[in-house]
Structure 1
Amino acid sequence: MKKPFLYLLLFITGHLCYSQTNNPTIIKGKVVDTPVNKQVAAASVRLLDEVEVTATAGQNKSLLYQPASIATLKTTELKRGQGIFLDDAINSNVPGVSMQRRSVSGGQQFNIRGYGNGTRGARGISSNFDGQGYKVYLNGIPVTDAEGITLLDDIDYGSLGNVEIIKGPAGTLYGQAIAGVVNMKMIQPEKGRTTMQQDVMLGNYGLQRYTTRLQTATDRAALSLSYAKQRSAGFSIHNNSNKDFVNLLTAFDLNPLQELSTFFSYTNSYDERLGELTLDQYAAKDYSGNIEYIKRNGHSHINSFRGGMAHTINFNEKLYNTTAVFGSGYRSDASSAGGWTDKTALNYGFRSSFGAKVLLNDAITLSGIAGIEMQGQVAQTVGYSMKQNPGDTTTTPWIMGKPYWVVNATTSNMFTVTGTSNLFTEWTLALPYQFSLTAGVGLSRQRISLDDRFNPETAARPSHYDTSYKQMVSPHIAINKVFNEALSVYAAYSRGYKAPASAYFFITTPVVTSPATPATGRINSALKPEVGDQFEIGTKGALFKNRLAYQLSLFHTKFGNKMTTVAMQLNNTTTAYSYVVNGGDQVHNGMETWLKWFVVKDGHGLLTGVAPFANLTWSDFNYGNNFIFQTGSTTNNISTADYSGKTVAGVPKISTNVGIDVTTKPGLYVSMSYSYRSDVFITSDGVNKSSSYNLLNGKMGFHQNIARRFEVDASLGLNNIGKVQYPLMIFVNQLPDAYIPAPLKPVLFGGLNLKYNFR
């Protein structure tokens, strides 16, 4: 019944293209609001921001009219700190969302309302490698691959101009997004201006960032071309980072009713991995790293490209279509304590949606979108063991200064073909008295084909496997009420899924000599997708003559079919193999609030802007009933751990940030921010936890136009002014290794940006 319903809605929207009118008032692929929908004050829209890149069903893009938790980061938030590492902007400005990284500028991962990473079910809600559960887009091109894995090393965060985050399951419009969606957009050219800009940032720990950007935009065309080189020596041994970014954006108004835009990027990224510190190392402030990583030249190296083209056509004032095609690919090599891995991947796909608006009468309007997104990936992953460098003839333990270990024998070779699709539709009924009702449904599919090209196929060991997940139906329903064009309240329900990753399916038992047992293999065919259901209520608005902006949300989310591990025992002293199964539930209850008060706004005196801000996150996340891990080792029997009712590891109960932005008429500006994180359990048994910490960051600068043509911006900043010990990343359930540390000393940085305006 669900598929015919979706196809019917697609047919209806397509049929609307024949309903021509004599007055098509349309801009940039969006049907312009009629007076019926222009009921929010323009100042309120500016204060709360508009949704620019996130798909919505309603025609009014103000956050006031969005019945969901959507966080927006613009230039003020993105550049409040260093501006080249997105985690500082996320962690200080977005309640309910955190971002970690494994190195100076690599291994980044999002955690949205307690769900973030996870190629390994053994880690519980989160894993320590790669990101799963959320969808990430850059200028409309999926960063998340067709298998649902997100790799973020190759993103030029210093060139971002807009970030929007949907918090909670977003499967209706975005497919397998059980945790949420992150939409990123590069800096856009200003219409009517042609500029050349050179930015330089220098800092301690060998930080260097050089960005050259050319931008031009007329009424009908725009172009932005940038190149950036980013270097850092890191704060410890084996901690270097080297990156090169190229970004090209174009946009053309082909005629009054059509627009074409393109985006291309290339990245060469290399980050050394220090490795995780043990609890003892962290306590002793011994940041010498993990020798097993360092001797294997632990690193992540990625060469990647992305390209996409989007076309928008407005058929009439009631209907438009936007279709985008995209492709991306990368080649990576990485090494860690477990060995060396080479991977080559190619992703391709398209997203096409119709937007429609029907004026039912003078007081009721129906608007919505319907479409499809499809993505495929072809990838090959080859694993190797590593051995001592033949040039190193010593027999003593490895120390810094000796040659790094080298690649040895092949240990695995997996070829995968994956495909995902999402058929979606969502509609908003705008009713009298500023009520609106939103409802939609998405139908997602996942297909995986695996070929083991290392192990020969035998009767006991398969080398090929195909599987698919077809009925991932994600509904969304919400109601929104706006009061006095200044504040709104909403209630919403949403669902999302995450299908198993390809690494979960082959179960191979090793050769055992005592008792003699040959290697065998089988397929883990019983896995089901994880499912997340969220109920949320919230309010947002702009009060006190449009000077106080706020958002408040309360949510209850249940994640079902959570994946966990089972260890199979061969005898009393040997674990034959382990594999992933669907385990119990997790229940997440939380509260998020965000405030910004414009004490001075567009002032004409010495102070042109004074804006304190604050946000608070309260998280009560627990393992549900019958949440059990089974583990084993080569020296002990299998043990079963029941985590039912215990606190989910890896997420602080309390997170809060406060700060202030001040601008002056002469061009001086100051930003200060304070952050607090409560202690965090690092093991699911509730025994081990990290300490709470406080951070104080500051930045001051000068911005001024000189002789009409030149703009200069000079700044100086200091992070972690109090010299506080804290982790960049916590490794959950991985003792004795536990932390990737942040620098102990304050991080000093300074920037100089020069822009020349040709017109």
Structure 2
Amino acid sequence: MKFTYIVSSILLIFSTLSGTHLYAQTTITGRVVDPTNSQPIAGASLLITGTSRGTTANDKGQFELSASEGDQLQVSAIGYQPQTVKIKATTRSLTIELESSNIDLNEVIVSGYSTPQTIQRTAGAVGLVTSRDIQRTSGIHLQNFVNLIPGVKVEMRTVAAGNRIVIRGYGNQTNFNGVGYKAYLNDIPLTDGDGTTFLDDVDFTNLSRVEIIKGPASSSYGNSLGGVVNFYTERAPIGKTSVSQQVLAGSYGLFRTNTSIKTGSDNTSLNINYGHQKYDGFRLHGTSKKDFLNITSDTYLSQKRSMSVFVGYTNSYDLLSGQVDSLNLIAHPDTAEVAYLANNASIKTESARAGISHNYQFTDRFSNKTTVFVGGQIIDQPFAAGVNKTNKFKFGGRTMFTYMNDASALKPTFSIGAEFLKNFNYAKGYGLSNGILGALRSDLEIQAMQYNVFAQAALQLAPRLTVSAGAGLNYVEYGITDMRASTTTPAYVNASGYKRFEPVLTPRAAVSYQATDNVSFYASVSQGYSAPATNQVVIAQTGVVNYNLRPETGTSYEIGSKGSLLTKALTYEIAYFSMAVTDKLIPQNFPATPTSPAYTLTSNAGNVQHNGLELAVQYAFRPTTGAISLFRPFVSYTYSDFYYKDYKSDNNGNAKTINYTGKKESGIAPNLLNAGFDLEVRPGFYLNGTLMYVDKMPITLANDHFAKAYTLVNGKVGYRSALGSHFSLDVYVGSDNMLSSTYSSLIFLNLPNPANNRPLFFNPAPKITFYSGAMLKYTF
């Protein structure tokens, strides 16, 4: 007993003096995954800090190693941000989520094709924005980080609302919201059943990643002509609990707070974020107020099952200033349109959505992912000549079954699935003049429904050659019930009816060649479509329903290459595409008359040719010694040769029909250039800078009005560091439009020419602005 006591005492003293803990080692099993798609990150490295003990995740992302309580497990993978996980006494099974980095982007796993795979091995153009890219800005304005992707341009009607995304020329077909592409938030459709995408209820400051599939390249999302935008919210790190508070203030009364609680066990994470935002805006009648609540949860129920839940609520109120002409864009950009002031024009939105996604790995080769969701919106929108009140309720789901067989020589992959989305919209329109409510103009119950079935497959015909093919069958239906009593207006024609568009088959085929381990080439041909949106089918100002519209269709040919050079320090992506679009939807704008308000009538009257070149290059210099830890310059360039191939003002074919064939497509700048750099210094200081050049572009069908070219320069400097073992701090100052360029953040296209030859095209953006902020986080 005395000997045992002496040995125990010696061991205790030695343990105390050496600062180590003698815990029994336990075998821990687990996996490393990408949190946005639950896909395994093969080859991830795991190392216990201060030791030589470690392992590498297999092709399923699975690992096994021995560890003790209190060990710090460092996990890293190319293309992802490293993470440190503390081993607990109860840890036996562990799931580790790695967030994508903005370095080595070609190694990041993305979804949308036959199976999730890295960007480099994807036979199509994919743009990616990571959390590090978002942190380069204030995070409030989507265009400041998404516009760095070639072929993509975000436009914004006000200082904090009215976002529309233009992808390869698609998205600006209407002056409100976006059409021609589909958008998702954590796999929940943001795009309505009528094809309209409304983004005012998305909290961009809570995003961790944005994936953009450019062009009709993904059968699993319906082959929209513009493409697909996938938004993903922040996740809580596995195995950590933290509370953080962020405060940001800036020019023109900008004030933003984010309060976040994140907690994660070995296999479960929960992130709750509340955001409050206020912005006076630089224009008269331009105030914005927003409140966001987002809840995101990931649970890994077993090695085969995982589940993600998202719940979001938004309450926003944005005043509208209206548009100005070309003279006031320069002389008085801070003014507001008189009619907007008289009617207190605004957009008041209350929105809620919830969705749940379930992943199940039936076998090593066969899996399924299913998402169901429900949501609703209440929108109250007074404008210059009336007021629209809309209540929306939507629901739906999507499911995809995937088969992969890496053991076979051909390595076949196959996926099949379906998506369903239905909207119930109750929309009323009233006259409004000088704030006095007028007569009922429209009272419609609109049931818009989209659904599609799809299949995709890929075979590796040779060690470096893969062919893939897919197809989607897409359905769009409208059921419209006109609730206006025809007896109140004898001349009124009831607009009730039902429209089911002919099903659209959208095939796609692609071939990719892996020239080396780090360089690939691809070619693809695909067909896509864009269905008319509700605001194109229903003319709310006049209460008329346009049942004669057809979906736009197009065939896209694309070639490209992606790769990493100089030991993966230099990465590039280049793509050339050519897409012919038929049945182009043409908006015809009619001015107000004494008996009728201004309205827009849409018709299928055009064929358009889109030819484009996209290039992105970045270089990451990461010295292992010295003060600088990272210097990352980057540049992207977009060339767009878009023109009207056979395009007329209408399809009447009479003396009033105007032929625009050969004219450049309005709203598309022929040249876009983005450049920037990230600089990080080891004590914690960082500096970010970006430049965006937008070329002169036509803004009318006849090409008789143009928006001038402009250049935007943004910058941010800050300090980011840990304060002890629990606190971390990030403080920063930044400036947007540092050159005080004059430009319009969104342009109303193809407006009729008034007597003074100065249509109200422009929504002016502010000159130079400043902001500063801080984020303090406590990790338990």
Structure 2 matches for 1:632-651, cutoff 5 A?
A: 639-651=656-668
Question: Helix, strand or coil for the counterpart of 2:335?
Answer: coil
Counterpart of 2:97?
Answer: none
Letter in 2 for 1:737: L
Question: Helix, strand or coil for the counterpart of 1:645?
Answer: coil
Structure 2 matches for 1:44-443, cutoff 5 A?
A: 47-50=104-107, 52=109, 54-58=111-115, 61-91=117-147, 93-117=148-172, 126-170=173-217, 172-175=219-222, 177-359=224-406, 361=408, 363-388=409-434, 405-443=435-473
Contact 2:79-2:108 at 8 Å conserved across structures: no
Between the aligned partners of 2:255 and 2:647, the Cα distance in structure 1 is: 51
Shift of residue 169 of structure 1? 1.5
Question: Helix, strand or coil for the counterpart of 1:131?
Answer: coil
Counterpart of 1:743?
Answer: 766
Contact 1:509-1:576 at 8 Å conserved across structures: yes
Do the aligned partners of residues 509 and 647 (structure 1) sit closer, same or farther apart at CA in structure 2, a change above 3 Å counting?
closer
Contact 2:726-2:778 at 8 Å conserved across structures: yes
Question: Greater RCO between the two (CA within 8 Å, min separation 6)?
Answer: 1
Question: Helix, strand or coil for the counterpart of 2:606?
Answer: coil
Do the aligned partners of residues 724 and 567 (structure 1) sit closer, same or farther apart at CA in structure 2, a change above 3 Å counting?
closer
Between the aligned partners of 1:129 and 1:553, the Cα distance in structure 2 is: 30
Q: Given the alignment of the two structures, is residue 699 of structure 1 paired with residue 716 of structure 2, yes or no? A: yes
Do the aligned partners of residues 473 and 144 (structure 1) sit closer, same or farther apart at CA in structure 2, a change above 3 Å counting?
same
Letter in 1 for 2:748: F
Counterpart of 1:19?
Answer: none
Q: Given the alignment of the two structures, is residue 582 of structure 1 paired with residue 604 of structure 2, yes or no? A: yes
Between the aligned partners of 2:241 and 2:416, the Cα distance in structure 1 is: 37
Between the aligned partners of 1:526 and 1:386, the Cα distance in structure 2 is: 29
Question: Helix, strand or coil for the counterpart of 1:365?
Answer: coil
Shift of residue 109 of structure 1? 0.3
Shift of residue 24 of structure 1? 13
Do the aligned partners of residues 234 and 450 (structure 1) sit closer, same or farther apart at CA in structure 2, a change above 3 Å counting?
same
Counterpart of 1:494?
Answer: 526
Between the aligned partners of 1:710 and 1:25, the Cα distance in structure 2 is: 28
- Stretches of structure 2 that go unaligned for 5 or more consecutive residues are 1-28, 44-57, 62-75, 81-102, 754-758
Shift of residue 627 of structure 1? 3.3
Between the aligned partners of 2:229 and 2:123, the Cα distance in structure 1 is: 17
Contact 1:252-1:261 at 8 Å conserved across structures: yes
Do the aligned partners of residues 29 and 545 (structure 1) sit closer, same or farther apart at CA in structure 2, a change above 3 Å counting?
closer
Letter in 2 for 1:410: L
Of 608, 617, 622, which aligns to 1:601? 622
Shift of residue 296 of structure 1? 0.8
Contact 2:367-2:403 at 8 Å conserved across structures: yes
Question: Helix, strand or coil for the counterpart of 1:601?
Answer: coil
Letter in 1 for 2:697: V
For residues 713-742 of structure 1, the C-alpha deviation after alignment (integer angstroms, 9 at most, x for no partner) is 000001111111111111111251010011
Shift of residue 702 of structure 1? 0.2
For residues 59-113 of structure 1, the C-alpha deviation after alignment (integer angstroms, 9 at most, x for no partner) is 5x2111001110000012112121111111112x111110111111111101001
Contact 2:106-2:563 at 8 Å conserved across structures: no
Between the aligned partners of 1:421 and 1:650, the Cα distance in structure 2 is: 30
Of 626, 631, 641, which aligns to 1:610? 631
Identical-pair percentage: 30
Letter in 2 for 1:132: V
Contact 2:317-2:347 at 8 Å conserved across structures: yes
Do the aligned partners of residues 507 and 484 (structure 1) sit closer, same or farther apart at CA in structure 2, a change above 3 Å counting?
closer
Contact 1:566-1:631 at 8 Å conserved across structures: no
User: What's the RMSD between the two structures over aligned residues?
Assistant: 2.9
Shift of residue 26 of structure 1? 10
Q: Given the alignment of the two structures, is residue 549 of structure 1 paired with residue 596 of structure 2, yes or no? A: no
Shift of residue 752 of structure 1? 0.1
Shift of residue 455 of structure 1? 4.6
Letter in 2 for 1:376: K
Letter in 1 for 2:456: E
Contact 2:243-2:777 at 8 Å conserved across structures: yes
Letter in 2 for 1:617: T
Of 461, 468, 476, which aligns to 1:446? 476
Letter in 2 for 1:99: V
Shift of residue 432 of structure 1? 2.8
Between the aligned partners of 2:264 and 2:316, the Cα distance in structure 1 is: 30
Contact 2:586-2:604 at 8 Å conserved across structures: yes
Q: What is the TM-score when the length of structure 2 is the normalising length? A: 0.83
Shift of residue 524 of structure 1? 4.4
Between the aligned partners of 2:530 and 2:146, the Cα distance in structure 1 is: 23
Shift of residue 359 of structure 1? 4.2
Letter in 2 for 1:614: V
Do the aligned partners of residues 89 and 286 (structure 1) sit closer, same or farther apart at CA in structure 2, a change above 3 Å counting?
closer
Q: What is the TM-score when the length of structure 1 is the normalising length? A: 0.86
Letter in 2 for 1:81: T
Contact 2:270-2:296 at 8 Å conserved across structures: yes
Between the aligned partners of 2:144 and 2:598, the Cα distance in structure 1 is: 43
For residues 318-353 of structure 1, the C-alpha deviation after alignment (integer angstroms, 9 at most, x for no partner) is 101111110110001011112111000001001111
Do the aligned partners of residues 477 and 237 (structure 1) sit closer, same or farther apart at CA in structure 2, a change above 3 Å counting?
same
Contact 2:495-2:544 at 8 Å conserved across structures: no
